[in-house]
Structure 1
């Protein structure tokens, strides 16, 4: 995957102001946006998805321009061909697991066709959701909710998967198990991803390129390959980066 981003966004809430100034480039398939809470990671992810419009700059995926302020290009979210998993999963509470997964495949004011229904059943099988396919989110465990959210994001066969702190709502034992499951999902679907996290262990588990944020800007960009065979651990380096953010 070739990914290019250079954006600026001024945010104002009450009397507080925040400036996002994000710029990085990568040809890796697994990018992780890392840094403390409030440093601009999720704002960047939402800009990539089209949920937030930058004031200026550009975003390109594999050479395709999805945002360019100078050229007046701003591709709608539904046309960007990306899947998004929210931090709280954002499942529709009134829909069953099966209906949540199929939501992105359903034409407006229409029902799923035979092909789409078959695809939903295939995803239910892949994610091991057969026994709970008729249940609503309130009855699901954290791990089941995450698998449902992943299946829903992957249902339209996107070219890029965006993950906003996908493990933060899980306790530690389940978090480790779900990391392993996500690794299998990425391999099975052969899809590039961009993940937001402030957990250095998650960076070590998934990242090929690490973009470190501090106070709204990109402080550093690392390649995980640089740490292979080195005495320096990636997680230790990143924890040091976070500690600097609080000085």
Structure 2
């Protein structure tokens, strides 16, 4: 994956102003946006998905321009072909697991084709959701909700998967198990990923490139391979860097 981003966005709320200034590029397939809460990571992810429109700059995925302020290009969210897993999963509470997964495949009018119905059933099987396929999110565990959100995000065969702190709502034992599950999913679907987290363990587990945020800006970009080759602890180095945000 070749990914290029250089954007800025000024936001006002409650009398306070926040300036997002995000710039980085990578050819790695597993990118992690790392830093403390409120540092601009999720705003960047939302901009990539088309859920937030930057004031200036551009976003390119594999050479395709999906946003360019100067050129007046802003590809609609539905046409960007990205899968998005929200921090709280954002499952539709009135729909079953099967209906949630099928949501992005359903035409505006009419029913799913037989091929798409089989695709939904295949995803239900891949994610081990057969026993809860007819249930609604409120009746399911956190792990089942996360798997449903992942299956829904992957149902449209996106070219890029965006994950906003996907493990933050889970307790520690389940978090560890779901990290393993996500690694299996990424390998099975062979899909590039951009993850937002402030958990250094998740960086260790998934990152090839780490983008460190501080106060709305990209402070540094690291290669996980360089940490491995140097023998330096990635967790210690990143935690020292992020700790400066609180000084």
Which TM-score tier does this pair reach, normalised by the shorter chain? over 0.9
State the partner residue of 2:11. 11
After TM superposition, list the pairs within 5 Å mapping 1:139-154 onto structure 2.
139-154=139-154
2: distance between equivalents of 1:43 and 1:225?
27
State the partner residue of 1:2. 2
2: distance between equivalents of 1:210 and 1:216?
16
State the partner residue of 1:199. 199
3-state secondary structure, aligned to 1:228: helix
Number of equivalent positions = 247
2: distance between equivalents of 1:138 and 1:93?
7
State the partner residue of 1:242. 242
2: distance between equivalents of 1:236 and 1:134?
45
Give the superposed CA RMSD: 0.5
Show CA shifts across 1:157-195 (max 9, x none): 000000000000000010000000000000000000000
How far has the Cα of 1:227 moved from its partner? 1.0
Unmatched 5+ residue regions in structure 1? none
Show CA shifts across 1:186-223 (max 9, x none): 00000000000000000000000000000000000000
State the partner residue of 1:122. 122
Structure 1 length-normalised TM: 0.99
Structure 2 length-normalised TM: 0.99
State the partner residue of 1:105. 105
2: distance between equivalents of 1:108 and 1:127?
26
3-state secondary structure, aligned to 1:195: strand
State the partner residue of 1:176. 176
2: distance between equivalents of 1:195 and 1:231?
24
After TM superposition, list the pairs within 5 Å mapping 1:1-247 onto structure 2.
1-247=1-247
1: distance between equivalents of 2:169 and 2:228?
30
How far has the Cα of 1:140 moved from its partner? 0.5
3-state secondary structure, aligned to 1:157: coil
1: distance between equivalents of 2:180 and 2:202?
11
How far has the Cα of 1:14 moved from its partner? 2.0
1: distance between equivalents of 2:140 and 2:40?
31
How far has the Cα of 1:141 moved from its partner? 0.3
2: distance between equivalents of 1:9 and 1:53?
8
How far has the Cα of 1:110 moved from its partner? 2.0
Show CA shifts across 1:24-48 (max 9, x none): 0000000000000000000000000
2: distance between equivalents of 1:43 and 1:149?
20
3-state secondary structure, aligned to 2:230: coil
How far has the Cα of 1:232 moved from its partner? 1.3
Show CA shifts across 1:107-163 (max 9, x none): 112211101100000000000000000000000100000000000000000000000
